[in-house]
A and B are shown apart, each in its own frame.
Chain A
Amino acid sequence: MNAHRDSKIASPQPEVLVAEGLQKSYGARHALQGLTFTLKAGRILGFLGPNGAGKTTSIRILTTMMEPESGHFTVDGISSDHPEQIRRRIGVLPENLGFPRQMTGIEYLTYFGQLYGRSPANAREFALALLEDVGMQQRGKSLIGSYSHGMKQRIGIARALINDPVVVFLDEPTLGLDPRGQQELLELIQRIARERGTGVILCSHLLSEIENICDDVVILSSGQIVARGTVAEVVDRVQRNIVLGNALRIQVPTDFVAKATQALKAAIPNVTKVTPIGEMEGWLRVELIESANGNSEKSHLINNTILGALIRAKIPILSFEVEGGRLQDVFLHLTEEAIQ
C-alpha cells in the first residue's frame, strides 16, 4: 500500500484543491487558524481532528457554505471569489444529510442533475448510471423513506457525484453502518478516486479506515494543522518524536489472556505492567521499562524475548504491534494536548 502511495506522489497529478491561510473565528474562539493544504486529482485525503478541532468549519468554508475571515482557496483553478462556479465543481456528502422521504432514488438524483443544468432526459440517464455505480439500481424506484441507512449513504454519495465533480467532500460517510456496509462504502470511495480521478476529502473518526484508504492525511487540532502529508510520512515523522518502544500490543486467544499475562510478568524483567485493552477481546498492552528508549536494536531484542516467552509457554500469538506505529497512535499523541 505504501509503495503504491509513493508511486502516486511522483506522478504529475494536478492540484484540484488548494487552500491557503484560511481563518475563521466565532467570537473570541479561533475555529480555524491559517488552514493550508493541497489535494491532488485521484487522491484521497483523510481529514482528522478531535471534536471542535475545526473540521466542520473547514468543510463548510471549502464547500462555500461559509466565508472565511481571511485566506482563500481554489477548486480546479477557480477562486473562492466565485462560489457558484466552485459549487459546479464539487460534490458533498454532509454528515447529517436529510432526504425527502416521499421521493424515489431516481427522482432525487434526476432532480439534482437538473439543478446542475442537465436536461430532464440527460439527468435521468445520468441518475440511472450513478445508481448502478453505487449498487442501488434495484431500489431506484423505491421511496427514499424506505431505504436503510447504508442505502441512504449510497444515494448521498451518488448525489455528490451528480455533477461529475473534481473534488468530493465526504463527512463521516460510514457513520452508523455495519462492518460490511463500511467496507463496501470504502471500496466505493476508492473506486471514485481511482476510476474518476476525483480528489476526495474524507472526514472520519474511524482512524483505521483513514489509514486503509487514504493517500494523504491532514490532522487538525484547535483550528491548526498539526500534521500533513502522506499517511506513511505523517506516521514516520511523528514516530521519531514520540516516546516509542516502551509499550507493545499483543493479541492472544481470550482463553490465554491470563496465562499470557502471567508468562510475560514472570519471564521478562523489562515488563512493568500487562493490562487488557478496554473492550478489545484478547488484546494486551505490555509496558516496558525506560531503558530501551531510543535504542532500536535493544527494542527489537526485547520484542524477540517477549515473543519467545509466549511461544515457550505455548500461547498462540494472533497479533503483535509496537505502540506508536499506527495512525491512531499518532492522532492521539498529536491531539492529546487539545483534548486535555
Chain B
Amino acid sequence: MFFIALLSGVVLMIPYDVNHPYRSVSQMLLANPYASWIRNIHYYSSQFFLVLLLLHLYEHFRKKQAVRLKQGIWLRLTPGLPVLFLVMFTGFLLRGDADTIQARHLVEQLTGEIPLVGNLLAFSIFGQQGSLQLIYINHAAVFSIISLIFIFEHSRKLWPELKTFVFAVIIVFAAGYYFSAPLHDNVHPVVKGPWYFLGLQNLLYRLSHPQWLLVIITGVLVLVYVAGLKTYRLYFSARKILLILMALYGLLTIDGLFFRGENWHSVYPWQKNYHYQVFGAYHFSKTDISSAKYAADILKTPPINGRQESCMVCHKKVKGFTASHNPETTGCFSCHGGNPFSTDKTSAHKNLILIPGNLSNAKRTCGTAGCHPEIVERTNKGLMATLSGMINVDRFVFNEQDTPDGMTTPAGLHHSPADEHLKNLCVRCHLGNEKHVTGAVTEESRGGGCVACHLNYDEQSLKAHAEYQQTGLLPDNEFHPSVDLKVTNDHCFGCHSRSGRISTNYEGWHETTLKPADVTGKKGFRLVEGTRVFRYVADDVHHAAGLECIDCHTSYELMGDGKHYQHQEDQQDVACTDCHTVTPDTINPLRLDGESAVIAGLRFGNITNRKFIRTKKHKTPLINTFVKNDSVFLIGKNSGKIHFAKPPATTCRRDNAHKTVSCSACHSGWAPTCIGCHNQYDPEEPGYNMLLNREQRGSWVEYTGEYNSLPPTLGVRTAGNEREIIPVIPGMVLTIDLHSYDKHLPDSLVFHRLFAPAAPHTTVTRGRSCKSCHNNPLALGYGKGTLTYKVTGNKGKWHFEPFYTSNENDGLPEDAWIPFLGSRTGKVSTRTNVVPLTVSRQKKMLTVGACLTCHDEKSEVIEQTLTDFSAVIKRKKAACVLPF
C-alpha cells in the first residue's frame, strides 16, 4: 500500500498546484478524471496503509510473546510512528480546504506547545503561515523517505510480493474508481480533521489545557517502547494498557466520525438532517472518465470560494440575477446544494435543493456563513414563522388555556380541538410552510421562507419557467427568477389578505359573503383566489399615494429582530408618529447597523449625507427616510418616489383632550367586521392538514355570519399605568361545538364575545368626526343601532335601540362588545391588556355626545371644551341639559 501511495503521489505532483491547492484539486475532480483517479488511489492506498498498520500494531499488542526485533530497531521504530502519522497528516493538509486550514492552525499551535523545541519544530514542519510549500516538501520527500527507511528496517524487504501487490492494486484502483477522495465544499459549517485524528479532536474537546494531550502522546510512545522490551511483566502490562487505549481511542473516533456536527455538537441518526449535519461537507462520486471533455469549460468558469464548481459548465447561459446573487460570484452550489465537484448530471444533482430559502433548508442555503446567517436565525424567531399569537389566541378561544399569551410554534401543534382547527384552517400562512413548486408569487402563495418575499419573476423568467414546465427541460437561455430586495405588496398579499385582511383593506377591498356569480360583470368588485368576492370601499391614503407595505415596515419587523414576541403589536415597531412628527428622532449613516447600511446602500447608493428617521419604539433606522430642513421625507423603496410626511395636525398634537387616543383610532376609515360565526367539526368533510400539506377526511368547518365594513369600535389598551384608545373589531363573536370533535370533552358548546385589537390599514387624512365616536353606539361598543338623546324637563337621557337581536347565549346584541352603559369583565378580548371602555369613560364620552346633539362640532364652544371641558360646563346655559 505504501508503494502504491508513493508511486501515485509522484504522478499526482504533475496536476497538483501547491500555490492554489484547493482550486487545483477541485479542477482534478471536475475535469481531469485521470488525475482525480490517481488522487483517489493515492488517498485510499495511504488510508489502507494506515488501517493495516493499526491492525499490525493491534496484532502485536495482543501477542503474549516478546517481539523478535532487536531492541535498537524497536527503539528507532517507536519515534517512527509519529513520523508515519505526519506523512499522512501533511498529505491531508495539502487539500487546502476548510477542514485542512483549521486542522493546520490546531496542530501547528499544539506543536508549538512542546517545551523548548515546539516553535522550531512547528516551523520546520509547517513553514510560513498561509503557505503549503514546506508542508508539500515534507510530505512528498522528508517524511516519505523517513517512513520508507523505517518500513524497510522493520520488514527487511524493499519490494512487496507480486501477488500481494497485484491484489492491493486491484482493491485500491477499484476503491479509487468508485469513491472520490474527500474534499470539503467550503460552504458546509462542519470542520473535522482526518478520520485517524478525530479521536484526538474529540479528546481536545474535553481538554481545556491542550498541553495534556502532549503528555498523553508522550506516555503512549513510552508504552509502545515498553511493549517491545523483552521483560514479560513490563511488555505484557504495556500491551494491555495500549489495547485498552486503542479501544478508547476507537470509541472517540467513532463518536467524532458519526455523531459530531457543526461546532462539534452531538448529532444522532434519529435527528432531523442527521446525514447532512455530519457528512454534508463531502460529496463522493464515481470517477467519470467522460468529464475530460469539460476541461476547457471548467477553466472558463469563475473561481468561487477558492475552487471551481461544475454547475456553470452546463448552466452557462443562466441569467436574470442581481449583482449580489450573481452565480459568477456566489456560485450555484451555495444556494442549491448538489455536488459541486461532479459534471455528471445525476451525481451533480444529488441532494439538489430545488427551492432554496424554505426555512427547513435556509440555514444551509441563504443562511450559510458569509451569506445571511444572522437573518435566518432571526426569521425563525419572528412571528411570521412562530405564529405564536395566532396559535395561543386560538387555544384561548377554544378554552384550552387561560390566557391568549404564550410562546409556541406550529411544530408544537398536537391533536386538541384548537390545534386541529389551526391545522385545518390557519397555519398554512406560516413562513416555514414549505414551498415545493417553482413559479411566481400568486394570491394563493403561502410560506416558502426567504423566497416568500425575495423571489421575483420578470417577463423573461416567466417565459422560461413556462417552457420548463411544458418540456421538463431548461430552455437554452435560462432566465432565473431574481433574488432581490424588491418585496412588493403581492408578496405579502397571500397571507395578509386573510384574517385581519390588511393587504386587501390597504388596497380598499372589503370581503363579502357574495358568490362570484353574484357580481359577474359588476363594477367595484374583485375576486381573490377565484372564489372570494371583495367590494371596493376606499383605499388607504398611503396606498393612494403609491406607498407599498415595505415602505413603512422594516426588515427587523418583517424578518424579526432576534427576539421572541407573543403578538403582532409586540413585534411591530414602526408607528405613524415616527414620520408624522415635528420632532423627528434621527440617526446619521455612520451609526446605522450593518444590515440597514447595506440595504440603504443597495437601494439608494451614496447615503453619506443623509439623516435617517429611527423608530421611537425599538430605535430601528427607517432607511428610506430623510430629514431636510426639519421636514421628514420618505422614498418609495421600489418606486423611488419621494413623499413628504405631513406633520400631525394641531388637534392631534394637543396635550390634553384625546392625548391617549391612538392615530389609528381616529384615522381608520373603516375596518372589516365579522359576527355570528359557528364552528363545527365534520368527520366527513374533505379537509386539509396545513402543517403536513396533505388532504384528509374530517375538518373543522366555519359557518360564517355577516361581513361588514364599518368604522372600528374603541377599546383601551393598558401597559403599566399607560392607557391608549385603540381601534378594535369583533374578532371572535362565535360558537364552537366541541362535542362535534370529541364527545368526551367537558364543554359541549363554547360561546365567546371577544373583540380584537386591529390595525385596519384604511387610513384617511381627516380623522373621525366628534360625533362618529361620541354619538356612535358602534364606537362605544354597543353595536350598530340608534342612539338618541332625549331631554325631559331638566333631565337628559340616552336611549339605545340595537340593530341586531339579542344573542341567546348572553342576551347582548349580536355585534355588541358591552351592554349599553354597562361593562364586561373576564374573557372580553383576544388580549389580556385590551378591555372595553369603562362605564365612567362611556359617560364622559356621552356627555360630550349630548353637547354635540345641539352644538356643531366646529363651533367655538366645542373647540373650547377641547382645552378645558370643566370650565365650559361650569358656564353652561340653563337650556343645556347633561345626561349624567
Q: Do A and B bind each other?
A: no
